[in-house]
Amino acid sequence: MGALIPMSMGKVLGGGSSINVMIWARGHKTDWDYFASEAGDPAWSYDSILDIYRRIENWQGMPDPVRRGRDGLLYITPPIDPNPVAVAMLDAATELGIPVFDDQNGSMMEGPGGAAYFNLRIRDGRRQSIFRSYTFPLMNQPNLTVLPGTLVTRIIIEQGTATGVECRLNGRSHRFHTSQEVILSLGAVNTPKVLMQSGIGDAEMLASLGIPLVQHLPGVGANFQDHVMVSSCIWEYPEPIVPHDNGGEVSIFAKSMPELDSPDIQLLQIQFPVPTPELVARYAIPAGSWGIFPALLRPRSVGRLRLTGAQPEDPILIDSQFLSDPADLIALRRCVEQVREVGNARALRRFVKREVMPTALSPAAMDNFIRDGVTTIWHQSCTAKMGRDNMSVVDAHLKVYGINRLRVADASVMPRVPLANTMAPSVIIGEQAGRAIATEYRI
């Protein structure tokens, strides 16, 4: 689409879970069954993944012993005191014939969609990061060292085996060697960056930068996927309501075409306006407003990451290719139509002084509105995908093809971006890595 879209990440212990909107979304049944099919391993199937979710969750909502756990270390709750607009949005869904569910991560994620409150990682008004839940309680263990502010620059590979990593800490270069294996968990942007800097990637691209080839894996940096949203459809409050909790507590999953096997679009309620600069330039947006993000969950557009140089400080080029496939614009157009239908429903009228944007537009003007408003949902993934074809980077046990003692455990290994915020699926990937390591080393 030719636009420059900012992409940020959590440069902090806990990564995205320390700065995100705290939504715990597991992914759809079809996602996990697709992962299992691509990996050739039933351990990634929905039924297998449910076992892990039940074990790690401490679910505070409506009991569902088939799908939810209550004794795990991850505190997860529905909104305790939902914003009135969130309550009314569920009423609007009912008004429009959209089924409303008690739990977004329950049976709704096995069917064609519906409406529900989000699951949130909030406890007593405080954010619950993955670092705080998993790692912080173990910080006093002698076999754990956490080095904040450390930049991993390269994997040390000797005769096809990963033996350690090079890092920069306090302006100095350090080498850390391993007795067992190296596990990369740097996210869908920096994991492929470090792999390529280490000579693992597309041979032609590495040669163009003078990086010695260690392992030809053309899928490193390829298959870049992300959820995109239009930021956003907005209504002005008659009397503003102060935002609280995570700023948005309800969503609706739907299909842009009835023949799809799962939802591909999502409507995300937001308690305050978050327009792009392009939309700010076109619309007068009052501060006292609320909105709904139209979001695309099954993008057909696929991008690629490329190194701009051989040095660690050289930035990586993220060629997202957002909306390059015409089908994505069509799906987002249908999503905006459904957002306007919900936002203008009778159940929400007491919260509407006027519709600010987009209002009723011609098809061409609506497409321009979408292009001006499209932005990331920060669900970058799939750039070192798990699978068995020649573009796959890791196998079902998350081991990098062609390199001994090297594993990846983050969103980059996803074969496709799931119908979910990527925090919960990334936790599952970490759990699967831990299980594979425990089995292999008989821990």
pLDDT tens per residue, range 197-237: 999 999 999 999 999 999 999 999 999 999 999 998 999 99
Tell whether the model's pLDDT for residue 1 goes beyond 90. Answer: no
Which DSSP letter does residue 405 get? Answer: T
* 28 is an active site residue: no
Say yes or no to pLDDT of 2 above 80: no
Average pLDDT, stretch 339-348? Answer: 98
**Distances in Å between the alpha carbon of 40 and those of 33, 36, 196, 402, 424?**
10, 6, 26, 18, 22
pLDDT digits 0-9 by tens, 371-386? 999 999 999 999 999 9
Place of tokens 């978050």: 274
Mean pLDDT for 267-290 is 94
Where in 71-194 does DSSP place strands (E)?
Answer: 74-76, 114-117, 122-123, 126-127, 151-158, 161-169, 172-177, 182-184
Mean pLDDT of 89-117: 98
Q: Is the pLDDT of residue 72 over 80?
A: yes
Catalytic, out of 28, 177, 379, 397 = 379
How confident is the model over 30-48, as a mean pLDDT?
98
Which distant-in-sequence residues (6+ apart) come within 8 Å of 349 by Cβ? Answer: none
Q: Is the pLDDT of residue 3 over 90?
A: no
Mean pLDDT across 124-134: 95
Whether residue 150 is predicted with pLDDT greater than 60 in this model: the reply is: yes
Q: Calculate mean pLDDT across residues 273-278.
A: 92
pLDDT digits (tens, 9 = 90+) for 407-430: 999 999 999 999 999 999 999 999
CA distance 94 to 348: 12
pTM of the model: 0.96
pLDDT for position 232: 84
Is 241 a residue whose pLDDT tops 90?
Answer: yes
Specify the pLDDT at position 443: 87
pLDDT for residue 4 = 84
